[in-house]
Chains A and B, each alone.
Chain A
């Protein structure tokens, strides 16, 4: 759509700007302030320059957390995106059962994060959990409290349980917008199931799929509550992701300087990736518009 050039539109944007500035820019400036100063309380600050940044860039603790974080996000995306598409393709198109599926699938999305953690905690425990109990009975040596591999599996399965529905719902919406004529044309051409998926459904889903990937990437990259409730970052440090490490550092140990430097770099990484996604997305929009 052609847009009118009108700088007065700024007035319409102003309320958003004020609200977001209050809740984003002010706190961010505080973080920057902490990142370049040392403080012993009482609002006394001593200029440190980039010392904290250097400390953080070379800290093995940060590297390990970052490595775990990237691995986690990669696994999550690799499981949830294909599974979400697959589920969306299998959902009933309309009628009573479609509503039932929609409501039940949206259910995990609206459970508070820590309750998700609680659910999986009591589901997985060997002594009182359904899953833990049966795995133990089948002879698996499953214990997410002491075994790092089991802890990882639990956290990943929990995330798949929690968020695959979002991907599926988005893809489902994309599928719904495909006119029936496309399928009829495919049938006339005797296209195979795979061809229908590859040349009709996938391109039509591309837009929403990108949003799904973006949302899932961002949210998995800042995951905090669920693994914190279930494993507390343990055993050892095996499930300590970036956010958990950051909160430990800032609120647990009160190392404000390093934590702030950490925050800024963390934010920059997310920003960079998001910018890439955003550029791809807007280009895709333009192509569709042509």
Chain B
């Protein structure tokens, strides 16, 4: 009986999550006249014209390419700098470590709106405005602290004896770190990468402020096209559906890690 109650609750909740998404997908297959003139639960004149528009127009599909480039760069940078730091925090106590850790966390809490304008000026003055690396670095502001936080949680779970044994066996620190330690916390790295991907992929305010043409992310392309050409609902919906797909793919690949990772680590 209890099982059926749970199933009922979950079904209700999942419906609540999926109905708005369904409406978006539904609308992406309709023509604009159908959207505005009639109200239909299913597309009456099924069309893929909206998707064709996006996939054949460089100003649309380059948005996806740009987004993926800077998200990837951000994940790589964040993890590279966060791994040694998380190791330091989990293994050693050093002068000012607690304060440093908290200071890092505060950056995760900083409202992007506060940083938007200074970022714009900073990156303009060093000539990085409208490049992928600028957005990737800007997103490090919240992703690096998060990655350090998650990884530290995982690393604390690895017994220290492993480090000591490896040193006795004659491993140098870098070799030990890459060959032995990283495989041990592989799921932690996976979870950290997932969160970095997620927060970089969904962020709009900074990525929009820091780009104009060459590195413009898809999310910003959407807002601008809407204001420029009136309301092209069909294309807008199709673009929205296409932004969901990369996220859905990532979730599908890490689905077994998520539960495990959440439980082991802190986030």
Contacts and interface: CB of A to CB of B under 8 A. Distances in A.
B168 interface: no
B192 interface: no
A12 interface: yes
Contact of A24 (B92, B141, B218): B141
B204 A16 contact: no
A19 to B, nearest CB: 5
B148 interface: yes
Contacts of A181: none
Given A9-B91, A23-B137, A208-B262, A224 B118 contact: no
Contacts of B18: 104
B259 interface: yes
B27 interface: yes
Contacts of B35: 128
B109 interface: yes
Interface stretch (A47-55, A144-152, A172-180, A182-190): A172-180
A7 B116 contact: no
Interface string B122-164: 1000000000000001101100110010000000100010000
Given A27-B122, A107-B248, A221 B9 contact: no
A1 B158 CA distance: 10
Given A16-B144, A161-B16, A218-B109, A87 B114 contact: no
A170 B263 CA distance: 8
Main secondary structure of the interface of A (DSSP, over half): helix
A112 B141 CA distance: 18
A19 B109 contact: no
A267 B19 contact: no
Nearest to A134: B39
Which of the four size classes fits the interface of chain B? Answer: 35 or more
Nearest to A250: B117
A9 B263 CA distance: 28
A86 interface: yes
Contacts of A267: 110-111, 114
Contacts of B116: 247, 250-251
Given A101-B10, A102-B255, A105-B14, A27 B148 contact: no
Given A9-B91, A105-B17, A99 B244 contact: no
A262 B81 CA distance: 32
Nearest to A212: B267
A89 B10 CA distance: 10
Interface in B88-123: 88-95, 97, 100, 102, 104-119, 121-122
Contact of A13 (B21, B84, B93, B263): B84
B258 A106 contact: yes
B219 A16 contact: no
Interface stretch (B47-55, B178-186, B195-203): B195-203
Main secondary structure of the interface of B (DSSP, over half): helix
Interface stretch (A72-80, A117-125, A194-202): A117-125
Contact of B263 (A18, A24, A110, A176): A176
B45 interface: no
Contacts of B93: 3-6
B88 A13 contact: yes
B251 A161 contact: no
Contacts of A131: 20
A111 interface: yes
Contact of B240 (A115, A127, A130, A224): A115
A102 B258 contact: yes
A215 to B, nearest CB: 8
Contacts of B110: 24, 267, 270
A16 B94 contact: no
A118 B137 contact: no
Interface of A: 1-10, 12-13, 15-20, 22-24, 26-28, 30-31, 86-87, 89-92, 98-99, 101-115, 118-120, 122-123, 127-131, 133, 161, 165, 169-170, 172-174, 176-177, 207-208, 211, 215, 218, 221-222, 224-225, 229, 242-244, 246-247, 250-251, 256, 259, 263, 266-267, 270-271, 274-275, 278
15 contacts: A10-B88, A12-B84, A15-B85, A24-B107, A24-B141, A101-B10, A102-B259, A103-B251, A109-B198, A113-B202, A133-B39, A208-B262, A246-B111, A259-B117, A266-B114
Given A15-B84, A110-B198, 9 more contacts: A27-B119, A87-B10, A99-B256, A109-B247, A110-B246, A111-B202, A115-B244, A176-B262, A270-B111
Interface of B: 5-6, 9-10, 13-14, 16-21, 23-24, 27, 35-36, 39, 41, 77, 80-82, 84-85, 87-95, 97, 100, 102, 104-119, 121-122, 137-138, 140-141, 144-145, 148, 156, 160, 198, 201-205, 209, 218-219, 222-223, 233, 236-237, 240, 243-244, 246-248, 250-252, 255-256, 258-259, 261-263, 266-267
Kindly list the 6 A-B residue pairs having the minimum CB-CB distance in the complex, ordered from nearest: A110-B247, A173-B262, A27-B118, A222-B111, A12-B88, A9-B92
